Amino acid sequence: MTRFELQHVDINGDDIAFRSAGTGPVLLLVHGMAGRSSTWRAVMPDLARHFTVVAPDLLGHGASAKPRTDYSLGAFATGLRDLLDALGHRHATLIGQSLGGGIAMQFAYQYPERCDALVLVSSGGLGDEVSPLLRALTVPGAEYVLPLLCARPLSDAGIAVAGWFSRLGLRPAPNLEEMWHSYGSLADAETRTAFLHTLRAVVDMSGQRVSAKNRLHLASQKPTLIMWGDRDGIIPVQHAYACHDAMPGSRLEIFEGVGHYPHCEQPARFAEVVTEFLGAVALEVGSAS
Which residues are the active-site residues?
98, 232, 260
Q: Taking Cα atoms as reference points, which of 284, 272, 280 lies closest to residue 42?
A: 272
280 CB contacts (<8 Å, ≥6 apart)? none
**In 10 A of CB 51, how many CB atoms?**
21
Instruction: Measure the CA–CA gap between 74 and 200, rounded to whole angstroms.
Output: 14
User: Could you give the dihedral angle defined by the CA atoms of residues 125, 131, 133 and 135, in that order, rounded to the nearest 10 degrees?
Assistant: 40
Instruction: Measure the CA–CA gap between 59 and 198, rounded to whole angstroms.
Output: 10
Amino acid at the residue 22 = G
